[in-house]
Each structure stands twice: as structure tokens, then as C-alpha cells.
Amino acid sequence: MADTSLHHNQTSPQSAAPVRARAASLHHVVLLAAMGAVLLVAGPWMFDTYLLNILIKAFFFAIAAITVDILWGYTGYLTFGQSAFFGIGAYAAGLTFTHAGFSASTALLAMGTTLLGCAAVAGLVGWLSFYRGASPFFATVISLVLPIVLTQLLLSGGSFTGSSSGLTGYPTFDGSIEAWYWAAGSLLTVAGVIGWVLVRSDAGRMLLAIRDNEARCTYLGINTSRVKTTLLIAMGVMAGIAGFGYSSFSGVVAPELTGFALGTELIIWVALGGRGTLWGPLASGVLVNVATAYLSSSMPFAWQLILGAAFVVVIVLFPQGLIPLLLQPFGLSRDVARAPLLRERAVTPGAQASGTALRMRGVTKNFGALKVLRGIDFEAQSGELVGLIGPNGAGKTTLMRCMSDGIERSGGTVELCGIDIRQLPPEVCVHLGLGRKFQNANIFESLTVAECLRIAGTRLERPSLLRQNPVLQLPAYALHVLHTTALDHKLTTVARDLSHGEQQALELAMVLALKPRVVLLDEPTAGLTKTERTQIGELLSSLAHQHGLCCLLVEHDLDLVAQISTRIVVLHQGTIVMQGSFQEVVNSPLVKTIYSGDARPQGEHA
Ligand SMILES: Nc1ncnc2c1ncn2[C@@H]1O[C@H](COP(=O)(O)OP(=O)(O)OP(=O)(O)O)[C@@H](O)[C@H]1O
């Protein structure tokens, strides 16, 4: 189908305010960047040598704070381990220059060791932390263990690592304090710009999606473990380069640079500055380090106490951080979204295949001694809309889980579009043609409608690391959902601000953006008004009958099921007790008995 422009709401009168806000926000960003550039260029003439010395070190620490913000603030991975990567970079320089002397080749060797060492350790930590089923808590514990282990290794390194005293006085780059200031400031600027471009890009929005709702990401076909591991490697390398710079400048390395105390301080700076803002942690990293340098000698214990108390106060009272709070009046704390141009995504020939879309043979599911599914045999064809009904606790949701995640079932086989899903995870099942809509609206609350839909299209279009695509392509039926529910006029609305019905419609559009062949819908009309239920019913009907999708609908609204289903399947106590047309099912004495609560599954009758 041709790419037809269907809608462009940037020209509508309602879009004038966001355009003005965007212009004002851009104006303030340019002003702030100009001030930063002046400080960076003119710093050596404005500050004395002591302050320059402190600022150079603070710039390197601020780079590490940026990496923590991208991992924690944007992706939701609370890590105490970024100090370890900072330390690897610092010790790569310190050890190489101490034992091999300083030259262009040893500097290259030290930098190569930093890059490879950080990438390898981050890859290992990612593999350990983000395997399938690992909890966020487990990942945080691993991040805590990493700096502890690394510090112990350094302490047991004897004269090679300098043990608890570290290494001092090694030869290093011969630069003036001004040159170091500009070099460190430029590195911080580069790190900030890379981070800024990344988090504003379409790929950066995926990090927020993982933070908001990782389960939904996997059901959109996104391998979140791979994304997080790749990100950890990139951020580990960035922190390592900062550590390399720090030890090359200071001529000192000590185990404290790898320790979890520094890892915790990085978290404090990010929280104080405003996590998920990038420039907040950057500014906080610099300011806290400067303040520490001046105040820690006059009040060594009180200063740490003040920092700790400030952290607690900010977490409790101002979770968005102090710097966004200070800059709120200038409109710098919010990112004004731009509405993309909606286009229809062409359907590739053969995508609407016919035949058996879903096949289950002898599927069982046990929770300990509880047998929830007892040998389910079931088939559904493309173009069919099957209503799955049964009393509460019959096993309907469990059956859907077994269809969409290979490790859910206890026995039997499931085939999606002719392919056995074996033990495959949901993100791979999605690539086989599965789309699943959950009972409660399962969306990304902090993203806009357009961003949610963009993330949903990741399977078909790799998101850019550099920019926001001004065009959003969706299959015709997903666009139909947006038009019918008027969500196409709310593309820049944040998902959490939508009504319950709009959130349900958004999730349906996200599932359809995958171009699925089998759509599982768990009570899609729960909590909707009569009009919304009718709208969704018509949409589902057209999905199956016009677009040839295989839809399996779990629904308690029997009127709706009667109107749109081509076949009804009745599940009771984990067994399919009947299937047929709606009339056959409602007239069945067995079904009447089941719904009156007086039936036992087949095989249990005397
Ligand atoms: N994780 C679990 N651990 C133990 N038992 C479970 C678990 N999940 C579901 N069950 C049990 O499995 C049975 C079937 O649950 P399921 O949610 O699949 O039923 P359902 O037909 O979807 O019910 P409803 O219509 O109320 O949503 C119930 O008895 C439930 O208590």
C-alpha cells in the first residue's frame, strides 16, 4: 500500500501553545549552553589555580555522574558500580605509567586497556545482572558487589597496585593547568552532548520505556537484557575514560576511586541534581565536588552529614531533584514533545497469511499441586475471532500466558504460525507473529502517545540513536484505532494523562503496531463505557474479518462476545468443555450448570 499522509496535527490551532513552549525552551537551552561555553573558555582567567584544580577533577567526576543518570535516571537500573569503571580507567593509566613509564605508546596502551577492560567487565556484569527473570534488586546487588571485589583486588595487589596507599608520582601528560581545564571541560561537554542526543533520540525513549514497563517492552519484541547490557558497556567505557583522565591529571590513584563509597556518592549527586535530566546531575556533580573541596577541611564530618541529610530530604520532598526545581520558572525542566506525521505502513505481500495461526496440543499448567490447565487441545485460524469464556478462575489468563511465553506451560506444545515456541521468551514469540493485550492498560506512562507507538514499532523499524523521526508509520488497522478513538489528536499527550478508555485504546494500537498475526486480548473492554465497548468491538471484528488476523478474546461481556465472535470456546477448571456458535453455547445445559457454579470438569463426573 502506498505511503499516504493521513494526519498532521502540527498545524492545528491546539498545537500553537506547544510550538511557543518549544521555542521558549530552546531559547533557554541556547542561553544556558552559551553561559557554559563562556565558563569553559574563560575559566582559566576567571578562577585561581586551586579552583581550577578542583574543577578539573570535578569535571571528570561529573562525567561519571552522567553515566549513572543515564543508567538509573533514564533506564531505571540503580547502580552503585559506576565507580568501578571509573577506577578501572584510573588504574589502567596509573599502573601503566608507573610500571612502563610514560610515552605515546604507553598512553595508547593505557587507553586501550581502559576501553577493553571497562567493556569486558561491563559485558560480564550485564550478563550476570540482566538474564531472563533477574529482578532489579538482584542487578543492584551485583552492582554493589563489583566495586567491593575490585577494591579488594587492588588492596591485595601489594607493591604492584600500591595496596591501600595507591600509586603516586608516576609520569603523565605534560600539560598546563589551563590546558587540563579545557581538555576536561571539553570531555565533559562531549559526554553531555552525547548523552543529550541519546536520551532525546527515539532509541533514548526506549530507555524510558524500559524504566516504565519492562514487561510491556518484551511483549513488543524488545530484548531488554541486550539493550541494558549494551548500554552498560557504553556507560562503563564512558566512566572509564573519565577515570583515565582523572588519574592522568592528578598523578594519583587510590582504591577509593573504585569503591562503593564513590559509587554511592555518584547516586547522591544524581538524586540531588535531578535524575533523568542529565544536566541536573552534571551541574550537581561539579557543584558538590567544589563545595566538598572548600568545606570538607573546615567541617570534615559535618559536611558528609549535611550531604546525607540533603539526599534524604530531596528524595522525600523533591524527588525530581533540586536543579529542575530551581530552573522550573524558566521552562527548562520540561521537554516539549513534537507531534510526528502519521503515515500508513505498507503491508508486505504474504503478511496476511491464511491457515492455522495458533495450535496447542496437550498443554498443561501446574502451580505446585494445583492443576490449572489439564491437557488443552486448541486450534485457531487466521481471520477467526474466538471468544474464550469461562467462570472466574477457569484458567483463561493462564492459557494466554502459555500461548505467549515458552516457559509458562508445564507440558504440551504451542505453535505460533506453524512454529513451535518451545521455551522461547515473549520477545521472540512476538517476532513469530504474536501480539498480546493485557487486562489492565499496559503502556509507558511517562511517554507521549506518539512515543509509545514508536516504541511499539521497534520490531519493524530500528529506532535512531541520533534523532526523533518526524514520521510515524503504523499499519492501517492501528491508525484506524487512533482515528476512531481520537487519539490521533493527542499524540503529544503523556500516556498517564489519558482516560482509562484512551489508555486501553492506546495499548491496543501499540499491539497492532507490531503487525501481529495472532492477537490475544484479555478483557479489552473492562472498565469502558458502552460507547467505547461498541467501538472496540467493531475494531476487533474488522481486525479478524477484514484484515485476516487471528484474534483470541477473553471477555466477560457476553453480549459483546455474541456480537463479534466467530466461535466460542468454554473453559472450566482448566479444561475446554465445549466450543461452537454463541447460540449452541448459551443453550447448552452443561454451560448453564457451569455458570450456576454446579459443574465439575470432564473426567471428574461419577
Ligand atoms: N502465579 C500463580 N500461582 C498460583 N496460582 C495461580 C497463579 N496464577 C493463577 N493461579 C490460579 O490459577 C487459576 C486460574 O487463574 P486465571 O487467572 O488463569 O483464571 P481466569 O480464568 O483468567 O480468571 P478471571 O476470569 O478471574 O481472570 C486460579 O485458581 C488462580 O488462583
Instruction: Please give the pLDDT value at position 353.
Output: 58
Instruction: Please give the pLDDT value at position 600.
Output: 56
Instruction: Please give the pLDDT value at position 354.
Output: 66
Instruction: Report the DSSP pairing between strands 550-554 and 518-522.
Output: parallel
pLDDT in tens, 139-163: 999 999 999 999 999 999 999 999 9
* Domain locations along the chain: 5-9+12-330, 356-595
Instruction: Please give the pLDDT value at position 12.
Output: 42
Q: What are phi and psi of 425, to 5 degrees?
A: -75, 165
- Ligand 1 atom, smallest distance to 556 CA: 25
Cα separation, 408 vs 365, in Å, equals: 8
**Does 402 contact ligand 1 (Cβ within 6 A)?**
no
Instruction: Please give the pLDDT value at position 355.
Output: 82
For ligand 1, atom 12, name the residue with the nearest CA.
372
C-alpha cell at 539: 475494531
Q: What is the DSSP letter of 275?
A: T
Q: Which amino acid is at 20?
A: R
Mean pLDDT of 88-95: 98
Q: What is the DSSP string of 42-98?
A: HHHHHS-HHHHHHHHHHHHHHHHHHHHIIIIIIT----S-HHHHHHHHHHHHHHHHH
357 to each of 76, 270, 397, 432, 438, how far by Cα in Å?
Answer: 36, 49, 19, 10, 20
Which residues touch 262 (CB under 8 Å, ≥6 apart)? Answer: 83, 86, 87, 147, 256
**Does 397 contact ligand 1 (Cβ within 6 A)?**
yes
Cα separation, 304 vs 265, in Å, equals: 10
Q: Which residue has the cell 461452537?
A: 580
**Does 390 contact ligand 1 (Cβ within 6 A)?**
yes
Distance (angstroms) between ligand 1 centre and the Cα of 224 equals 27
Cα–Cα–Cα angle for 263, 268, 272, nearest 5°?
150
Distance (angstroms) between ligand 1 centre and the Cα of 389 equals 14
- Ligand 1 atom, smallest distance to 400 CA: 18
Instruction: Please give the pLDDT value at position 4.
Output: 38
For ligand 1, atom 4, name the residue with the nearest CA.
367
For the four alpha carbons of 221, 227, 228 and 229, in that order, the dihedral sign comes to positive
Query: Which residues are paired to 474 by β-bridges?
Result: 344
Q: What is the DSSP string of 361-397?
A: EEEEEEETTEEEEEEEEEEEETT-EEEEE-STTSSHH
Name the pLDDT band for 24 (thresholds 50, 70, 90).
low
Query: Which residues are paired to 378 by β-bridges?
Result: 360
Instruction: Please give the pLDDT value at position 1.
Output: 38
Which residues touch 445 (CB under 8 Å, ≥6 apart)? Answer: 212, 213, 494, 495, 496
**Does 63 contact ligand 1 (Cβ within 6 A)?**
no
Whats the size of the chain, residue-wise?
606
Q: Which among 212, 202, 201, 204 is positioned nearest to 473, based on CA atoms?
A: 202
Q: What are phi and psi of 436, to 5 degrees?
A: -130, 125
Mean pLDDT of 471-499: 93
Cα separation, 132 vs 149, in Å, equals: 24
**Does 367 contact ligand 1 (Cβ within 6 A)?**
yes
**Does 360 contact ligand 1 (Cβ within 6 A)?**
no
Cα separation, 342 vs 4, in Å, equals: 9
Entry pTM: 0.89
Name the pLDDT band for 325 (thresholds 50, 70, 90).
confident
Distance (angstroms) between ligand 1 centre and the Cα of 392 equals 8
For the purposes of burial, counting CB atoms within 10 Å of the CB of 271, is it exposed (0-12), middle (13-18) or buried (19 or more)? buried
**Does 393 contact ligand 1 (Cβ within 6 A)?**
yes
Percent of the residues in the chain that have a pLDDT greater than 90, as a whole number = 68
Q: Which among 452, 425, 428 is positioned nearest to 512, based on CA atoms?
A: 452
Instruction: Please give the pLDDT value at position 220.
Output: 96
Cα separation, 600 vs 86, in Å, equals: 64
Is the domain defined by 5-9+12-330 classed in CATH 1.10.10?
Answer: no
Cα separation, 409 vs 441, in Å, equals: 24
**Does 395 contact ligand 1 (Cβ within 6 A)?**
yes
**Does 289 contact ligand 1 (Cβ within 6 A)?**
no
Mean pLDDT of 332-345: 75
**Does 574 contact ligand 1 (Cβ within 6 A)?**
no
Instruction: Please give the pLDDT value at position 599.
Output: 57
Percent of the residues in the chain that have a pLDDT greater than 70, as a whole number = 91
By most ligand atoms within 8 Å of CB, the mutation choice from 372, 389, 404, 571 for ligand 1 is: 372
51 to each of 168, 176, 253, 254, 290, how far by Cα in Å?
Answer: 21, 14, 20, 22, 8
pLDDT over threshold 60, residue 219? yes
pLDDT in tens, 388-408: 999 888 999 999 999 999 999
Contact between residue 65 and residue 59 where contact means Cβ atoms under 8 Å apart:
no
Cα separation, 342 vs 474, in Å, equals: 7
Cα separation, 377 vs 361, in Å, equals: 5
What is the domain class of 356-595 according to CATH? alpha beta
Distance (angstroms) between ligand 1 centre and the Cα of 446 equals 30
231 to each of 97, 206, 410, 421, 554, how far by Cα in Å?
Answer: 30, 11, 35, 29, 38
pLDDT in tens, 123-144: 999 999 998 888 999 999 999 9
Distance (angstroms) between ligand 1 centre and the Cα of 574 equals 10
Cα–Cα–Cα angle for 265, 269, 272, nearest 5°?
135
By most ligand atoms within 8 Å of CB, the mutation choice from 363, 364, 366, 367 for ligand 1 is: 367
Question: ipTM score here?
Answer: 0.96
Mean pLDDT of 432-452: 93
Check residues 323 and 380 and name the one with the higher pLDDT.
Answer: 380
